[in-house]
């Protein structure tokens, strides 16, 4: 595997900047950038001109990751040339949130199945139920195929996000990259770093990812009670106070849910993924140091590939809520992951998202995470 990375700004001559990648003749190009790069067609058209033989996939972000740094209002382009792996891409239009599961199924069915080893998925970050999307995708994939990726972001505005795929840039499309062959290797790690405050609250009414009731009261009223002055800034301030889901027996799930929207009239909260209807929710908060510790734990969870040949790519997808908590120290969680991966990652790319898709342990199931650092390391043998 060979890798090359560019960091662009809006004033770049895109054709000239992309020319070195054309010489490399990459099989896969990943594009993570601010919304402006996708809202206009200039970059998309330049990518198609300069890299006509490459599979091109990407999304808008709440911050771009390259090396040990986090960038804003930039575009990070990572080109990959495989030695033994083939690549395919598919996309599907999502009509509305209720269409999330079916969109996942359509997406999986559009990918060639034979030899499929792993899927990297990028979804729109608003008007979507991320956990239903993953469930639909996995229901139509061959057994043993792993899934990672994330939901696009728009800097924390939760208004309009973009994905990039076969149709170009779109605000209503989910994209899946399929990796094929016996010599592709993927290592996964995922961890959060949040702490609970207040008692666990019983879910008394929910529909999918919309939470109506906690302990018999309106969910929004309970949530505002805990947030105090922060409640004035909802839904944006909800990124600082996610929920952890607990089972009916109060067992920890290590799965967190971010608030995407509030409905004052209904007294409801729309979360980024499904809620356990018979479970409990516990409010969480964190500090920069705790989040950095969580990122280190995610990196430690990646199983090294001692037989890897060539360069290795680490794809980091972290949450916009973590970025808001860490502020000017956000680079530190990326540095922590990079330092722990060491020589296990020749190149690091990624983005801050509205939802992270990953596996928490080597044999675990793929899930939608919120407020979590997820790490996927690609290599070949």
pLDDT single digits (tens) 170-206: 999 999 999 999 999 999 999 999 988 889 999 999 9
Res 59: pLDDT: 98
Res 11: pLDDT: 75
Q: Are 92 and 137 in contact (CB under 8 A)?
A: no
> Quick check: bond before 29 cis, omega within 30?
no
Helix (H) or strand (E) run with residue 131 in it: helix 130-139
d(CA 184, CA 379): 6
Determine the Cα angle at 260 with ends 257 and 262, to 5°: 115
Helix (H) or strand (E) run with residue 108 in it: helix 100-110
d(CA 359, CA 189): 7
- C-alpha distance from residue 280 to each of 9, 130, 260 (Å): 45, 20, 19
Q: Which whole number is the average pLDDT over 220-232?
A: 94
d(CA 174, CA 86): 21
d(CA 65, CA 280): 34
Helix (H) or strand (E) run with residue 269 in it: strand 268-271
Longest dimension (CA), the chain: 62
Looking at the chain, the whole-number percentage of residues with pLDDT higher than 70 is 99
Tens digit of each residue's pLDDT (9 = 90 or more) over 57-71:
999 999 999 999 999
Q: Are 300 and 190 in contact (CB under 8 A)?
A: no
Tens digit of each residue's pLDDT (9 = 90 or more) over 23-40:
999 999 999 999 999 999
d(CA 304, CA 301): 9
For CA atoms 343, 63, 328, 189, give the dihedral sign: negative
Res 255: pLDDT: 87
Res 197: pLDDT: 86
Local confidence band at 252 (pLDDT 50, 70, 90 cut-offs): confident
Res 199: pLDDT: 93
In this model, does residue 317 exceed pLDDT 90? yes
SS3 (DSSP) at 372: coil
120: left (phi over 0), alpha (psi -120 to 50) or beta: beta
Pick 362 or 374 by higher pLDDT: 374
Tens digit of each residue's pLDDT (9 = 90 or more) over 124-139:
999 899 999 999 999 9
Tens digit of each residue's pLDDT (9 = 90 or more) over 292-309:
999 999 999 898 888 888
Beta bridge partners of 218: 213
Helix (H) or strand (E) run with residue 189 in it: strand 184-191
Between 208-212, 271-275, 332-336, the lowest mean confidence (pLDDT) is in 271-275
Res 364: pLDDT: 61
d(CA 320, CA 326): 10
Res 361: pLDDT: 57
Q: Spell out the domain ranges in the chain.
A: 2-191+290-380, 195-285
d(CA 69, CA 76): 11
Res 360: pLDDT: 62
Q: Structure tokens of 258?
A: 């971010």
Tell which residue, 54, 294, 329, 342, has the closest CA to residue 195.
Answer: 294
Q: Structure tokens of 131?
A: 């956990």
Chain mean position to CA 364 = 17
Local confidence band at 363 (pLDDT 50, 70, 90 cut-offs): low
């Amino acid at each position: 595997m060979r890798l090359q990375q560019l960091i662009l700004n809006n004033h770049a001559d895109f054709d000239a900047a992309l020319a070195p990648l054309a010489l490399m003749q990459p099989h896969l190009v990943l594009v993570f950038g601010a919304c402006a790069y996708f809202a206009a067609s200039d970059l998309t058209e330049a990518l198609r001109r300069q890299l006509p033989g490459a599979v091109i996939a990407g999304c808008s972000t709440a911050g771009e990751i390259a090396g040990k740094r986090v960038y804003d209002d930039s575009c990070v382009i990572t080109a990959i040339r495989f030695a033994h792996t083939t690549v395919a891409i598919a996309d599907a239009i999502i009509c509305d949130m209720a269409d999330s599961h079916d969109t996942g199924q359509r997406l999986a069915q559009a990918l060639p199945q034979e030899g499929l080893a792993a899927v990297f998925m990028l979804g729109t970050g608003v008007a979507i139920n991320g956990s239903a999307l993953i469930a639909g995708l996995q229901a139509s994939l061959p057994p043993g195929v792993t899934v990672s990726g994330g939901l696009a972001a728009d800097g924390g505005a939760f208004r309009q996000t973009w994905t990039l795929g076969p149709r170009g840039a779109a605000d209503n499309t989910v994209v899946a990259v399929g990796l094929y062959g016996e010599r592709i290797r993927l290592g996964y790690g995922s961890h959060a770093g949040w702490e609970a405050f207040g008692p666990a609250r019983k879910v008394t009414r929910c529909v999918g990812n919309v939470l109506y009731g906690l302990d018999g009261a309106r969910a929004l009223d309970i949530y505002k009670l805990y947030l105090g002055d922060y409640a004035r800034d909802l839904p944006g301030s909800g990124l600082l106070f996610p929920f952890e889901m607990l089972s009916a027996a109060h067992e920890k799930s290590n799965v967190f849910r971010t608030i995407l929207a509030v409905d004052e009239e209904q007294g409801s909260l729309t979360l980024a993924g499904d809620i356990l209807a018979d479970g409990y929710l516990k409010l969480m908060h964190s500090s920069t140091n705790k989040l950095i510790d969580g990122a280190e734990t995610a990196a430690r969870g990646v199983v090294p590939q001692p037989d890897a040949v060539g360069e290795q790519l680490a794809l980091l997808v972290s949450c916009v809520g973590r970025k808001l908590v860490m502020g000017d120290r956000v680079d530190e969680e990326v540095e922590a992951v990079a330092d722990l991966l060491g020589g296990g990652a020749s190149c690091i790319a990624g983005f801050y998202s509205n939802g992270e898709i990953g596996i928490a342990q080597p044999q675990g199931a793929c899930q939608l995470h919120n407020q979590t650092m997820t790490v996927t390391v690609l290599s070949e043998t």
